[in-house]
Amino acid sequence: MEAKKYICPVCKGKDLYLKHEASYVYSYVLDSDAPGMKNKEIFSLFLYDRREQTESLEYVECDKCKTRFQSDLLFGSLDKSDFTLYD
């Protein structure tokens, strides 16, 4: 089975990427040895006590013209004639 790709409807570019951006707030409990209950000897950023996602954005971007399409709108139209398939 051959994989099918999609063509950008703006510039006809053939490289579309699904991108996911997210922002997080990392929290560390302040104690006497190092910030965070998991940091006993040295402070390591990845040993956080709590992580909260504050924002999230998912979109499809054309690598050629950098046009962004909202993924929820795009997924509904990928199988329709709005986007041209090539093999």
What value does the CA radius of gyration of the chain take, rounded to a whole number of Å? 21
**Residue 52 located in a structural domain:** yes
2 neighbors 84 (Cβ within 8 angstroms): no
Confidence of residue 28 (pLDDT cuts 50, 70, 90): confident
14 neighbors 7 (Cβ within 8 angstroms): yes
Torsion from C-alpha of 65, 70, 71, 76, nearest 10 degrees: -110
**Residue 73 located in a structural domain:** yes
Domain that holds residue 50: 5-81
Whether pLDDT at 75 is above 70: no
Measured between alpha carbons, how far is 60 from 72 in angstroms, rounded to an integer? Answer: 10
**Residue 86 located in a structural domain:** no
Segment 1-24 mean pLDDT: 84
Confidence of residue 74 (pLDDT cuts 50, 70, 90): low
**Residue 29 located in a structural domain:** yes
Please report the pLDDT score of residue 7 as a whole number.
85
Whether pLDDT at 29 is above 90: no
Considering its fold, how many domains does the chain have in total? 1
**Higher pLDDT pick, 63 / 34:** 63
Predicted TM-score (pTM) above 0.75: no
DSSP-derived pairing of the beta strands 5-6 and 85-86: antiparallel
**Higher pLDDT pick, 38 / 83:** 38
